[in-house]
């Protein structure tokens, strides 16, 4: 760079998959230079960048992104037993989102599909081609598939959001989906292992790689901060209790006491010490969808911005693939994603009233508290023990924390379910429901700022998004 860089909005959309890939790359580059990507018109001169160089930036206002509607499937279902496939739930979730948005499908200009590994789980790829089956009016629109293991869904949301921010489209349909109940648990765990450094970590960890990888993270955390298995159990108990308030949660009918979650037993065997079955997320068939729109589209159709959810800021980072090359349990690269999101939103963690964080295992939620700045390093267990992250609806006593932020109010990945490619979209749909007062029995009171944190691999890909109401 020569010290001056002018960010210009694109003049016209590019067509075709290759064109859209370059658009996405360009938008990511712009966001790196323009940290206030979602703010109003601004001029930033002599800005200090991360590498120490000076840049003079001038940027026109980027288009705001709103969630106009959303939908999801029941995560307790078994599609194979129903004689259905991933195609059916993509169509179902997409239809629900469009119906909820109350728009003509003809208004939708592009689609993004988040999925991890349908090729191995179902022998089906080219998932974007199912978008036209949601409604014939969608035939011909461009679609793209995003993959980053468990963060696949969040990336599809980011793709749609960046299309809108860049002025390429005003209405984007985002769907995340996964069908996992197609094979044995052993074979399924091997498919999931593709999200790790398979050819290097498989020989070391063997079968069921991911419980063992996160068991190792839990061991490191416990040794460093003197935490206990009982501390991890509090996350599992909380998320099972939250799931009972969610009529679409996979574990809504399960009863898990804190005593049961704390001890190895026939009902709750050890999986990868110190992790037990209750510490693990679920194998799930499911899909979720949201309709993202621009602020100018909301004005065009006469919708009130205050009655929907807006993307205030986001951060997206990628770390090394193998766990042993990361700085567990600090995960400094993941922390940068959270820092970017808060910086863009001009908010702090204490400004939030709720969050959906990645809890593929109980230890992941505790680490996420610290990554996101909800707790200091080593203090994540104290936060969950205080009751601050538990809904008042299920909390046996008043929180002892100086502030409260219910986390995973619908059950999270442990209680609600974890259809890998759908999880990031499901989190965003939950943010929309909470912010618009549609979460039902697991509604958080007086919520106006909400965070979603989705990650893929052993915290390899991290996506943090801050949502709120104008």
Mean pLDDT of residues grouped by 10 in the chain (470 residues)? Answer: 39 41 44 40 38 36 92 99 99 99 99 99 98 99 99 99 98 99 98 98 98 99 98 98 99 98 97 98 98 98 93 99 98 99 98 99 99 98 96 86 93 99 99 98 98 99 98
Helices within 145-208 (DSSP H only): 152-165, 185-192, 198-205
Closest CA to 195 of 174, 173, 180: 180
CB 380 within 8 A of CB 369: yes
Report the distance separating Cα 302 and Cα 35, nearest Å: 30
CB 66 within 8 A of CB 276: no
Residue 453 DSSP SS3: strand
Report the distance separating Cα 173 and Cα 138, nearest Å: 10
Closest CA to 405 of 418, 387, 421: 387
Report the distance separating Cα 453 and Cα 66, nearest Å: 18
HSE of 386 in the Cβ direction (CA atoms, 13 Å)? 19
pTM of the model: 0.88
Cis previous bond, 329, omega within 30: yes
The predicted pLDDT at position 23 comes to 42
CB 315 within 8 A of CB 32: no
Report the distance separating Cα 268 and Cα 161, nearest Å: 41
Give the rounded distance of the alpha carbon of 96 from its chain centre: 19
Token pair listed for 234: 């509090």
The predicted pLDDT at position 53 comes to 36
Strands annotated E in 40-151: 42-48, 54-59, 65-72, 110-114, 143-146
Closest CA to 453 of 105, 151, 179: 151
Give the rounded distance of the alpha carbon of 264 from its chain centre: 30
Q: Which phi and psi (to 5°) does residue 225 adopt?
A: -115, 10
Fold held by 65-182+284-294 = Peroxisomal Thiolase; Chain A, domain 1 (3.40.47)
Closest CA to 352 of 461, 238, 444, 240: 444
The predicted pLDDT at position 454 comes to 99
Report the distance separating Cα 246 and Cα 254, nearest Å: 12
Which residues in the chain are classed under CATH 3.40.47.10? Answer: 65-182+284-294
Q: Which phi and psi (to 5°) does residue 321 adopt?
A: -75, -50
CA angle at residue 83 from 132 to 277, to 5 degrees? 105
Report the distance separating Cα 420 and Cα 367, nearest Å: 20
The predicted pLDDT at position 461 comes to 99
CB 405 within 8 A of CB 353: yes
């Amino acid at each position: 760079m020569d010290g001056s860089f002018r960010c210009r909005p694109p003049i016209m959309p590019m067509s075709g998959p290759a064109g859209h890939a370059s658009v996405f790359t360009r938008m990511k580059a712009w966001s790196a230079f323009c940290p206030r990507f979602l703010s109003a018109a601004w001029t930033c001169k002599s800005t200090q960048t991360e590498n120490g160089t000076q840049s003079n930036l001038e940027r026109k206002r980027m288009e705001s992104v709103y969630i106009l509607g959303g939908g999801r499937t029941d995560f307790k279902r078994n599609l194979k037993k129903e004689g259905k496939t991933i195609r059916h739930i993509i169509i179902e979730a997409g239809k629900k989102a469009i119906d909820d948005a109350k728009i003509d499908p003809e208004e939708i200009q592009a689609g993004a599909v988040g999925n991890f590994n349908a090729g191995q789980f179902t022998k089906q790829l080219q998932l974007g081609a199912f978008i036209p089956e949601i409604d014939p009016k969608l035939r011909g629109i461009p679609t793209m598939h995003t993959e980053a293991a468990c963060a696949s869904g969040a990336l599809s949301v980011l793709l749609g959001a960046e299309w809108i921010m860049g002025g390429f489209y005003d209405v984007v349909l985002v769907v995340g989906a996964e069908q996992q109940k197609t094979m044995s648990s052993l074979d399924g765990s091997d498919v999931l292992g593709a999200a790790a450094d398979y050819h290097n970590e498989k020989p070391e960890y063997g079968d069921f790689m991911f419980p063992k990888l996160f068991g190792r993270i839990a061991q490191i955390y416990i040794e460093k901060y003197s935490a206990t298995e009982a501390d991890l159990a509090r996350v599992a108990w909380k998320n099972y209790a939250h799931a009972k308030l969610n009529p679409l949660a996979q574990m809504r009918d399960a009863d898990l006491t804190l005593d049961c979650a704390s001890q190895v037993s026939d009902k709750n065997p050890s999986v990868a010490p110190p992790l037990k079955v209750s510490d693990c997320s679920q194998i799930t068939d499911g899909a979720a969808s949201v309709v993202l729109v621009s602020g100018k589209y909301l004005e065009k159709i006469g919708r009130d911005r205050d009655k929907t959810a807006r993307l205030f800021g986001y951060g997206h980072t990628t770390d090394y693939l193998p766990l042993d090359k990361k700085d567990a349990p600090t995960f400094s690269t993941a922390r940068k994603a959270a820092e970017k999101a808060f910086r863009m939103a001009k908010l702090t963690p204490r400004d939030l009233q709720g969050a959906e964080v990645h809890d593929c295992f109980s230890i992941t939620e505790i680490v996420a508290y610290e990554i996101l700045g909800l707790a200091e390093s080593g203090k994540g267990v104290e936060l969950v023990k205080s009751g601050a992250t538990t809904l008042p609806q299920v909390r046996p006593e008043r929180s002892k924390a100086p502030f409260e932020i219910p986390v995973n109010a619908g059950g999270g990945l442990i209680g609600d379910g974890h259809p890998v490619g759908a999880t990031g979209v499901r989190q965003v749909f939950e943010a929309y429901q909470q912010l618009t007062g549609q979460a039902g029995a697991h509604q958080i009171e007086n919520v106006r700022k909400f965070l979603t944190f989705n990650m893929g691999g052993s915290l390899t890909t991290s996506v943090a998004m801050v949502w709120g109401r104008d």
